Each structure stands twice: as structure tokens, then as C-alpha cells.
Amino acid sequence: MLALQGDFREHLRAIEAAGAEAVGIRRPKELDGLDGLIIPGGESTAIDKLARAFELAEPLRERIAEGLPVYGSCAGMILLANDIADPATDLSGAPQQTFGGLDITVRRNAFGRQRESFETDLDFKGLDFSATASGVAPVHAVFIRGPWVERVGPGVEILAQVVPADPEHASHAVPLPGTARIVAVRSGHLLATSFHPEVTGEKRVHELFIRMIRGEA
């Protein structure tokens, strides 16, 4: 659990509820011996700056490239993306940085600002093979100033999309009803969701990640 900023406490609880042990990571040496890492929701710019300040960013990029399983939710998805369509810039005009690894382009705050946060049910692929042969299962998803994925590269699997139905979402960045937006992806050892399963008591996304770590999914 990258415990620099954001809702890492909620993820710690979700991992433990899913039957695994989790520890908070704040220093490069704490990356040694990890089976996997979760990057929580929060502010991607803050996590980026703190990771650089604590000299974690480079070692983490290396571990991701070496195959460390990582799950990123919301800001964590942004930090795993190779590209950001609209990166925030600091006072010197330098764009925010990501750890990368996922060949996707994300758009930050794509569904709007805090007041446009919303909840919806969506079908998530690969979660629950007892439900359907395809493993597609319904998930109640909470979006809080979330990103969406605008581009997926080869080898990136789309696990869930959202089609904002209610017309109120047509009044800003959210696409007109009927336009599907990618909100969960997987590429090998990397998993990312735009939404926050850790805030709803949903365990299956964390269980999927644990199965990925164990080589069972």
C-alpha cells in the first residue's frame, strides 16, 4: 500500500477483508520483499511530488517494469498511466509525472469536479466466474473526481466501461448519455480502476488483485 497521500487506510481495510496482509510503504527500502502494491485514490499531483521527495518514484518505476503487480484506483490509475491527456503543471510549468507501466492515456477529472461525483452500477469483467461464464459481474462503483481512459494500447484489456445515463451528466465533461467511457483496465500484472471499490465494502476487485499476485488470474 503506497501510503504517501490519499485513501490508503480504506484500501488497507479492503485488502485485509479480502484475506491478505497489507503494510504502508513510504520509503524505497520498504519496496523490498513486496508481493504487490496498491496506489490509492487521492491527488495524483501530491502523490507524485511526495514519491519524488521520498526518492520512491524511480525505484517504483523499476519495480513496475520488472513485473511488480500493482493496482491503482482513481489517482492510482493516473499514476500508472503512461500518458495523461491534461496533466496538471506546477508553478514552474512542469507537468506532473506518473510512474507509468500501463499503456493508456487518461483524462483527469474527466467526469467533472467534486460536485459531479456519482455512483453507478457497471459490469466488471474477470471478477466472479460463479456469476457468469465470462466472469462478468455487476459492481456498484463510486466515482470521485475520477479519470477516464481515452486510449488503450495493445495488450491492455478493458474490464469495465460506464455509460452515464442521467442527463445531468450531459452538462459538462461527462460524455452525452450513450457514450461509453473506459473505467477499468488490466495489462498483465497491472490493474487500474477509475472508481473506488475500497469505499463501498466491495471486496472482489481486491480479491482479483490478490489472485493476480498469486498467479491465479
Ligand X SMILES: NC(=O)CC[C@H](N)C(=O)O
Active-site residue set: 74, 196, 198
Nearer to ligand X, 25 or 84 (CB): 84
- Binding-site residue positions for L-glutamine: 42-44, 108, 144-145
CA distance 139 to 155: 24
Nearer to ligand X, 88 or 136 (CB): 88
Joined grid coordinates for residue 89: 503543471
Using rule CB under 6 A, residue 145 touches ligand X: yes
Which amino acid does the sequence have at 128? D
Stretch that binds ligand X, among 9-17, 27-35, 74-82, 180-188 (CB under 6 A): 74-82
Contacts 24+ apart (CB under 8 A), 81-86: 81/105, 81/106, 81/147, 81/149, 81/192, 82/153, 83/151, 84/108, 85/150
Please count the residues of this chain forming the interface with ligand X, following the rule CB under 6 A.
11
Using rule CB under 6 A, residue 74 touches ligand X: yes
Single residue of 36, 41, 112, 164 touching ligand X by CB under 6 A? 41
In the block, residue with C-alpha cell 451528466: 169
E-only strand ranges, the chain: 37-39, 70-73, 81-84, 102-107, 118-124, 137-143, 148-152, 157-162, 181-187, 190-193
Single residue of 43, 198, 202, 207 touching ligand X by CB under 6 A? 43
Nearer to ligand X, 68 or 78 (CB): 78
**Residues in region 75-134 near ligand X by CB under 6 A:** 75, 78, 108-109
Query: In whole angstroms, how far apart are CA 6 and each of 74, 175, 217?
Result: 10, 27, 27
Stretch that binds ligand X, among 39-47, 50-58, 179-187, 203-211 (CB under 6 A): 39-47
Stretch that binds ligand X, among 8-16, 36-44, 64-72, 169-177 (CB under 6 A): 36-44
CA distance 169 to 129: 32
- Which of the 8 DSSP states describes residue 85? S
Contact positions toward ligand X, by CB under 6 A?
A: 41-44, 74-75, 78, 108-109, 144-145
